Amino acid sequence: ARNKCKFVEKADGVFWMELDDFIENFSYVYICRILNDWNKQTINDEWIGESAEGLPSSTNKNANLALCPQYIVKVAAPGTMFIEMSQFDKVNMFKGKHYIMFLLSDNNGQIIKRMDRKAIIGMSGQ
């Protein structure tokens, strides 16, 4: 299959994985839908410095949620929104655990300073 796909190994973050290894390592597969460019918004951001504390948790009690990257999405009418998150790191991309998460919350356009489960609309992994 690798030869039929004409896969060429490069340092571009794309890699080949045998089916048995894929099945053993992944429980879910998400198929992304490519949307029209006219309704696509791209934001590049990163957790560095103060914003790199991560999320507050039992093992990270002093993390300041207000410093984490946050974005406002204004919805004028009912519809469908697709959110894609990617991690790109040119050096050591596949070493260590680099967690990524998305949380959609109704906070009336205000910075989220603490987690409120009642305000959560959705999150990655659901």
Phi, psi of 24, rounded to the nearest 5 degrees: -70, -30
pLDDT of residue 14: 82
Q: Please, what is the Cα angle at 52 between 50 and 56, to 5 degrees?
A: 100
Close Cβ partners of 24 (under 8 Å, ≥ 6 residues apart):
none
- Tell me the pLDDT of the chain (126 aa) as tens digits: 778 888 888 888 788 888 898 888 888 887 776 666 667 778 888 777 777 777 778 888 888 888 888 888 888 888 878 787 877 665 555 566 667 778 888 888 888 888 888 888 888 865
Do β-strands 120-123 and 103-105 pair in parallel, antiparallel, or remain unpaired?
antiparallel
Q: Give the whole-angstrom CA distance, residue 42 versus residue 56.
A: 26
29 vs 74: CA distance, rounded Å: 29
pTM across the whole model: 0.56
pLDDT at 28: 82
